[in-house]
A and B are shown apart, each in its own frame.
Chain A
């Protein structure tokens, strides 16, 4: 049994300890918002937060998150997440949407570490997340917009 916290709730899974966290989340915990895209940490569709840090869950063995806190797209919350999601909707970022859970998880972590990233910092933080619909220009704009709305709020 491997125990960890997922989206704020404790969970115990009876799975192969080598099973990648992605498949533990999807097939064992039944949360399907986190996507499989490459299985090799090359595309970012599987990005989740482990203790607040963005990680690729498709290679990470589930045993390595024992006792830790995992957040997925279904559970990501707080001011930064709200601002990111709002910006994503306002700028109509999504097309097919398959990579967007991972994009949003990466963007939220970026803004939590660095609330006012410049373009180079955005590109660097988001370079591991592929979008085949190439929504990149809007992703960049949405991160800037979220950043502005967060700084506006904290100044207010």
Chain B
């Protein structure tokens, strides 16, 4: 999400305490209890009291008599490795054995499970999961450990200070006594919940910074991991929805007789978003939907087409936009400059196209509503459903399952597919649980795309080739406008996610103007892995490369000279360049390109190495990635996110593009919307900067860097500047 929504007080106080603050950092803590406030009463879960021998010190960890430690994840596991990361933090401070730790998903509850960077909202996005949880999860583990020690001290009548904990065993060395966590669980539950805990000196970490097996690995290789698609409930029906062929169209008339005659079809409902066919199973619902006769009212439909839109964007960029950043006097400096450069960059709409198309299960009952979903915006969806159904948010019980990818899509600001499922369940009188399944085509044509953008840049260089003026104009739709996030994301008409990555240009240039034209199109748009940086990084990093070339300078050296105030940027750039052998000669027909970008407080540099292919295309042989994400909690998960995040960006670099034609989406499946396949994946090397700074996100920051690195390498290969994404197939 936006940079602004990530600001939070807890983070500031944490930064003050510091990760590297040394041994025995003692912190005052108030951790929420396991049970929701309204349930907490003496003897109930969350009151700190005993429940069937289970130890529930706080909302994030429970220890069962069978010695299982369960870490409760407030964040969605969508592949980014957050279950492993959160469990690492708890297990580290608890001194648990890694094998005894399991992870389960938290319910939706903003009072206990909010994202600390987002205020009173639970959700997963903006690469914040580990960053916001870093101290909270450590404190949760440390508090549990302290209570286990207190229980052991009481049982053995020894001083707590003489007790040690290691690998899930509590020990009193001088008397030779020891106990497992499970053996102490019941007694630990009777101990007072600490209000102060001491967390480890980083020098004592034995899990943080090491490689530990992923917690979601084994279930995902034997078919046992449960995704929303896999939920089976008694009496559950499956629904497919016929959506309008164009954005903004509505149902005029439906003839559902033929659909109802399809064996297995139970009902057909007209709902706000289209016509729903409810059936015993997917196939019946699909055949039923095919049999619908729908007359669409297209009078209010969107008429835009990608090509004409881009032409209008180009026109808009001729005039000054709203100011996102202004320093010095750009126009004057441009006039006085020894030389001037211009370039413009074009970006299409992009679909998230997660492998698991959008889906969810909703059951209406006397208590309200129960939801099964790869839930990314827990309390946002909870409130939206409550509002739609006329019940309280507490009556919406959310079960969060693994998501088969999301890349932002499952954090929909309008709760689109959840409200659609609720409308179907309601239309059916709540008699049966309903699983809403979108086909690939439904998913790809529903919108909520990364917006289309046009960028226009102009720079002035002095006689030595140094940049003295930089004017950057961006044209495109706002992601935040009209959503609950508008007040946090949009200031003075400028959506921070439209300009992030451009307005925080790290290069030292005395006269800078970053301007925005926000357009209104009627095509629904949304954050897409790395959000604004998916386009700004390309424009900025390709243009700075053009400047370096115009100045006759090496692109790495040129950047380094302009990064004086950003030592962490310089360090990742230098690391990537060194490891890639930057400057060393390459064989004929090969070239390198570089790009550097900060997003979500993480700096990433990438060097792409290309070969010219005999057919005139190119192949990406190797990508070297350097990342500074602060302290590395799980280095192998970080490497995986760098590899995969880069690969996700490579799809958009090479081939992916959504085309709007008269308000309709042209592409429907992976034949039209082409994505990276195995043969296009380069060799990848990841190098992590050693750091004691607080951890920052890794899910998104690798994604925006690859496109400019590849485009700059292409220029080095054949002297032509590519200024439109996607670049085209590479082999």
Task: List the interface of chain A (C-beta within 8 A of B).
Answer: 15-16, 19-20, 23, 26-28, 30-40, 42-43, 45, 72-74, 85, 88-89, 92-101, 104, 122-124, 126-127, 129-140
Chain A min CB distance to B232 (Å): 7
Stretch at the interface among B538-546, B606-614, B669-677: B669-677
Contacts of B219 in A (CB 8 A): 97
Nearest 8 interchain pairs by C-beta: A33-B223, A134-B647, A98-B404, A97-B220, A96-B79, A95-B79, A136-B681, A32-B230
Is B52's CB within 8 Å of the partner chain A?
no
B678 touches A32 (CB 8 A): no
Are A133 and B221 touching (Cβ within 8 A)? no
Count residues on chain B whose CB falls below 8 Å from chain A CBs.
64
Chain A residues within 8 Å of B227, by CB: 35, 97-98
Given contacts A23-B281, A130-B670, contact A95 B355 (CB under 8 A): no
Residues of A within 8 A of B223 (CB): 31-34, 72-74, 101
Q: Give residues of chain B (221-253) contacting chain A, Cβ–Cβ below 8 Å.
A: 221-227, 229-230, 232, 238
- Chain B, 689-707, contact with A by CB distance < 8 Å: what is the 0/1 string? 0000000000000000000
* Contact, CB under 8 Å: A133 / B678: no
- A62's nearest neighbour on chain B, judged by CB, is B283
Counting residue pairs across A and B whose Cβ atoms lie within 8 Å, the total is 180
**Contact B229–A35 (Cβ < 8 Å):** yes
Contacts of A30 in B (CB 8 A): 232
Give the contacting residue for A94; candidates B217, B647, B671; CB below 8 A: B217
Tell me what chain A mostly uses at the interface: helix, strand, loop, or mixed: loop
Chain A residues near B670 (CB-CB < 8 A): 38, 40, 42-43, 130
Looking at the assembled complex, report how far the CB atom of B659 sits from the nearest CB atom of chain A, in whole angstroms: 18
Docked-complex contact B684 and A37, CB < 8 angstroms: no
CB of A47, distance to nearest CB on chain B (Å): 12
A33 to chain B, nearest CB (A): 2
| Measured CA separation A140–B675 after assembly (Å) | 18
Q: List 24 A-B contacts (CB under 8 A).
A: A16-B283, A20-B283, A23-B283, A30-B232, A32-B230, A35-B229, A36-B229, A39-B440, A73-B221, A73-B223, A85-B222, A88-B221, A89-B217, A89-B221, A94-B217, A97-B220, A98-B227, A98-B402, A98-B405, A123-B679, A137-B647, A137-B682, A138-B640, A138-B643
| Nearest CB in chain B to that of A86: its residue | B221
Extra inter-chain contacts (7) besides given A96-B355, A98-B356, A130-B675, CB under 8 Å: A27-B281, A28-B281, A43-B355, A73-B223, A74-B223, A136-B676, A137-B643
Chain B residue at minimum C-beta to C-beta distance from A124: B679
Hey, which bits of chain B sit against chain A, CB under 8 A?
78-81, 213-214, 216-227, 229-230, 232, 238, 263, 281-284, 287, 353-357, 402-407, 437, 439-440, 636, 640, 643-648, 650-651, 669-671, 675-679, 681-684
The interface residues of chain B lying within 8 Å CB-to-CB of A124 are: 679
B677, A130: Cβ atoms closer than 8 Å: yes
Take A130-B670, A137-B643 as given contacts and tell me if A96 and B404 are in contact as well, using a CB distance cutoff of 8 Å: yes
Contact A104 B221 (CB under 8 A): yes
Q: Considering the chains assembled together, what is the distance between the CA atoms of A100 and B220 in angstroms?
A: 7
Q: Is A132 in contact with B283, judged by CB distance below 8 angstroms?
A: no
What chain B residues lie within 8 Å of A98 (beta carbons)?
A: 227, 354-356, 402, 404-405
Asked whether, in the complex, the Cβ of B79 is within 8 Å of the Cβ of A97, the reply is: yes
* Separation of A136 and B355 alpha carbons in the complex (Å): 14
Minimum CB distance partner of B623 in chain A? A137
Residue contact B669 to A40, C-beta cutoff 8 Å: yes
Pick from A28, A36, A132, A137: contact of B675, CB under 8 Å:
A132
Cα-based distance from A99 to B150 in the complex (angstroms): 46
